């Protein structure tokens, strides 16, 4: 098989992971403690909380979580909420958390796994601005992640379901999911026409926003783009496999970068054993 002859590192040029955050509070914090009658300046401090397993467990509040956040709010101590989850816009996610914890939270305090992708709209991390480029977004329920990407500012967002709906033969094993994809698929901005590559669908960047629901389809579309010539769907780069080129020619022909939002191989769901996550999809794809 072709994949057996491709080094694991050939496919992936870039990825995005949650990184450690250095937080500095530039304003003094005033608070009262015990019977102090004068304001005291607190140390410059802020808190970063993981949501899953710290504030919530399987969407249920962990005892003391609400009180802890409320205490920080009352004392004017800044905090942010971090999660490897995603699939929804930050405003939706923070509304859910606010309701579950019975506390008012602003969307600015939450950072989801795909939140950094918003920086790429205008260009960041060595990536050109993608606002007006065509990107592929995989993962999540339906096309929820497409809607999130559009709210971030991406103007041309394609999903694997869009491509399958237009070209059913691209993944022969999706017959049972035809109605599902039709429920949200949109027309492609361009057809897949390898005979006329200048008029064909071109993918400029790919993002796995959330755990893919259809690993087979998503993997096939992503691999097609990674093996293409300059991201033009339906083409195959003639540089692939050439030993005289760096990385044996793979990812040397203008293929789109691929960004993952979450490296977790396993995650804790309501089932008593861990479930495969986005990291599992990445391992399968590699």
Q: In whole angstroms, what is the distance from residue 239 CA to residue 250 CA?
A: 7
**Structural domains of the chain sorted by starting position, each given as residue range(s) with its CATH number in brackets:** 2-16+116-285 (3.40.50.1000), 30-111 (3.40.50.1000)
Q: In whole angstroms, what is the distance from residue 175 CA to residue 179 CA?
A: 9
pLDDT at 3: 42
Burial 208-232 (b: 16+ CB within 10 A, else e): bbbbbbbeebbbbbbebbbbbbebb
Q: In whole angstroms, what is the distance from residue 113 CA to residue 28 CA?
A: 30
Least confident of 7-16, 213-222, 240-249: 7-16
Q: How far is CA 12 from the centre of its chain?
A: 15
Q: In whole angstroms, what is the distance from residue 216 CA to residue 171 CA?
A: 8
Least confident of 51-65, 80-94, 176-190, 226-240: 51-65
Q: Hey, is 156 helix, strand or coil?
A: strand
Q: Hey, is 157 helix, strand or coil?
A: strand
Q: Quick: pLDDT tens for 52-100.
A: 889 998 788 999 999 999 999 999 999 999 998 899 999 999 999 999 9
Q: What letter does residue 200 receive in the DSSP assignment?
A: S
Share of the chain above pLDDT 90, in %: 74
pLDDT category of residue 101 using cuts at 50, 70 and 90: very high
Largest CA distance in the chain: 80
Side-chain half-sphere CA neighbours of 30 within 13 A:
3
């Amino acid at each position: 098989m072709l994949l057996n002859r491709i080094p694991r590192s050939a496919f992936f040029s870039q990825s995005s992971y949650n990184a450690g955050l250095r937080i500095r509070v530039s304003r003094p914090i005033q608070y009262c403690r015990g019977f102090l009658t004068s304001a005291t300046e607190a140390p410059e401090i802020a808190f970063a909380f993981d949501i899953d397993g710290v504030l919530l467990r399987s969407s249920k509040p962990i005892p003391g979580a609400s009180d802890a956040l409320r205490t920080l709010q009352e004392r004017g101590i800044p905090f942010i909420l971090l999660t490897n989850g995603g699939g929804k816009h930050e405003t939706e996610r923070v509304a859910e958390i606010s309701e579950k914890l019975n506390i008012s939270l602003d969307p600015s305090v939450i950072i989801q796994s795909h939140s950094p992708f918003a920086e790429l709209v205008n260009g960041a991390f060595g990536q050109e601005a993608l606002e007006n480029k065509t990107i592929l977004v995989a993962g999540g329920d339906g096309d929820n992640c497409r809607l999130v990407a559009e709210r971030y500012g991406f103007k041309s967002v394609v999903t694997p379901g869009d491509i399958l709906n237009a070209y059913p033969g691209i993944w022969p094993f999706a017959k049972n999911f035809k109605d599902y994809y039709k429920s949200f698929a949109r027309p492609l901005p361009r057809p897949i026409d390898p005979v006329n590559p200048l008029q064909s669908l071109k993918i400029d960047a790919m993002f796995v926003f959330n755990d893919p629901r259809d690993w087979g389809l998503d993997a096939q579309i992503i691999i097609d783009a990674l093996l293409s010539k300059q991201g033009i769907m339906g083409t195959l780069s003639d540089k692939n496999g050439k030993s005289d080129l760096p990385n044996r020619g793979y990812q040397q022909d203008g293929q789109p970068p691929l960004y993952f939002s979450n490296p977790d191989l396993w995650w804790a769901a309501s089932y008593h054993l861990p479930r495969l996550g986005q990291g599992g999809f990445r391992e399968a794809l590699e």
